[in-house]
Chain A
Amino acid sequence: MKSFTYERASTPAEAASAAARNTGTRFIAGGTNLLDLMKLEIETPRHLIDVNSLALDTIEPLPDGGLRIGALVRNTDLAADARIRRDYGVLSRALLAGASGQLRNKATTAGNLLQRTRCPYFYDTNQPCNKRQPGSGCSALGGFSRSLAIVGASDACIATHPSDMAVAMRVLDAQVETVRPDGTTRRLPIAQFYRAPGDTPQLETALAPGELITAVTLPKPVGGMHVYRKVRDRASYAFALISVGAIVQRDGSGRVALGGVAHKPWRIEAAEAQLPKGARAVTERLLANAKTTDDNAFKLPLVERTLAAVLVEARA
């Protein structure tokens, strides 16, 4: 691991301001992804700002009936919160489908959104990777791509976003609250949070340098049946090959987002109009522009069949 200087931040605005002053800064909260990457020298921050003592670890009701989830709320606590379990079941289910008990106890809401791809070539520092070393090339194209993206990718990168939680946040139309180095705040819809890889796959989110996530907000509950189904190589503690997060209403309308297929949670609102026609129609619209490799073409039928199972479960 490369050496770094370390400080504990006392307010979110100070943390953002300090991050902008020091080049090569990373915020550290749970640290479960960042420290893994620092040991491999894939991440080499020169300065760490520990944000754990910022008071951002509560879930508060909002006047509009929604919830404001502090950036530091741990994955276990979010999944176990009575309001989340009752009104936002897809979020609780997605969180519980991810990682292990030990990791969920440490990992935070904001850190989960910001975790980096598990593309095997991003992790292998002996291989070219445009995300890790911009301009070096993409080893996954023509390489081992079984776990990688089938939509939204580019000629520079076919990495997937690994988060289950983010898929549920997308289905729930969550918003990301931030503070910038100049002290101003803003709120971003999750739909606009992740950047397409394009020619710059190293730029993953809409966050500016030094910008700190302070909370994620959920709109008021929309009711319906909440389902999160994840397909993976083993029954527990594995990343998704694909996953489906859905909220289905009694009248057959609903929302659907996919994990494991793109650089971000994959949701196309127009596809949801096809829900009454069934899984095939929805999948055809969702994955209309899919570009698969021999290794990952299996994801196309897998999405359709998983969505079919989700719809059966939701309508049971």
Chain B
Amino acid sequence: MHFPSDLAATRRDLLIGTAAAVATTSSSSRLAAQAPADIGPVIAPVSFEVNGAQREFSLDARTTLLDALREHLHLNGTKKGCDHGQCGACTVLVDGRRINSCLTLAVMHQGQRVTTIEGLGTPDNLHPMQAAFVKHDGFQCGYCTPGQICSAVGVLDEIKAGVPSHVSADLTATPEGSEAEIRERMSGNICRCGAYSNIVDAITDVSGRKA
């Protein structure tokens, strides 16, 4: 640790230390940044299915799946909350599994099948989970709702597939759709309005109908 009295030496030591570290490893990100100048945008092609339609893109390789959906396809149902995988507002289904679309690059999904809230159902023909959220008033402001609903659809599929959870008492038993199970499995979706109890009721309702 450097103390104020060491400051004169700090910069020089840092440069020497940095050069030595570059020689031995490429693992530190800061070192890479200090190497040659930044490279310009890299445009990459990618194609995947979104809500049943094949889509082709030519986009900056940095584009997340979330931004590709919102900014390129104008599917604004999927929401950007924290953009760091902490809130779940961006949850979509990829090949049937729920993921955070903000923490994955669009170019990593070549040939895959993406389902967003717009692909689950329509205002005239709601998906059972969408209908249950309306019936149980499972939201207030609605911002987290598309992510909650996509996540809930994924949760019921995971329970059906026998995936255990942190609160499953017996790891080898078939998991059940209890309230405790649903609450644990939905912990990656934050609702700032606090509509959790109605969200659990909505999911339980759909779970019961399926069983």
A80 B29 Cβ-Cβ under 8 A = no
The distance from the CB of A14 to the nearest CB of chain B, in whole angstroms, is 18
The distance from the CB of B148 to the nearest CB of chain A, in whole angstroms, is 12
The distance from the CB of A65 to the nearest CB of chain B, in whole angstroms, is 19
- B-contacting 9-mer, from A91-99, A185-193, A286-294: A91-99
B171 within 8 A of A: yes
B137 within 8 A of A: no
A279 within 8 A of B: no
B41 proximity list for chain A (CB < 8 A):
3
A36 proximity list for chain B (CB < 8 A):
84-85, 103
Q: How many A-B residue pairs have CB under 8 A?
A: 179
Within 8 A of A (CB), among B118-135: none
B64 A44 Cβ-Cβ under 8 A = no
The distance from the CB of A154 to the nearest CB of chain B, in whole angstroms, is 10
B1 within 8 A of A: yes
B104 A106 Cβ-Cβ under 8 A = yes
A156 within 8 A of B: yes
A137 B29 Cβ-Cβ under 8 A = no
Q: How far is the CA of A28 from the CA of B172 in the complex (A)?
A: 32
The distance from the CB of A196 to the nearest CB of chain B, in whole angstroms, is 16
A80 B162 Cβ-Cβ under 8 A = yes
Take A39-B84, A101-B154, A135-B14 as given contacts and tell me if A44 and B32 are in contact as well, using a CB distance cutoff of 8 Å.
yes
Size range of the chain B interface in the assembly = 35 or more
B18 within 8 A of A: yes
Within 8 A of A (CB), among B22-38: 25-33, 35-36, 38
B78 within 8 A of A: no
A137 proximity list for chain B (CB < 8 A):
1-2
A3's partner among B14, B26, B38, B189 (CB-CB below 8 A) is B38
A52 within 8 A of B: yes
Q: How far is the CA of A41 from the CA of B30 in the complex (A)?
A: 9
Q: How far is the CA of A96 from the CA of B91 in the complex (A)?
A: 19
B155 A35 Cβ-Cβ under 8 A = no
A89 proximity list for chain B (CB < 8 A):
171
Within 8 A of B (CB), among A36-63: 36-37, 39, 41-46, 48, 50, 52
A6 proximity list for chain B (CB < 8 A):
42, 44, 61, 105, 107
A132 B85 Cβ-Cβ under 8 A = no
B171 A92 Cβ-Cβ under 8 A = yes
B21 A134 Cβ-Cβ under 8 A = yes
Interface residues of A (CB under 8 A from B): 1-6, 8, 23-25, 28, 30-32, 35-37, 39, 41-46, 48, 50, 52, 76, 79-80, 82, 85-86, 89, 92-93, 96-97, 99-103, 105-106, 128, 132-138, 141, 155-156, 200, 202-204, 207, 209-210, 235-237
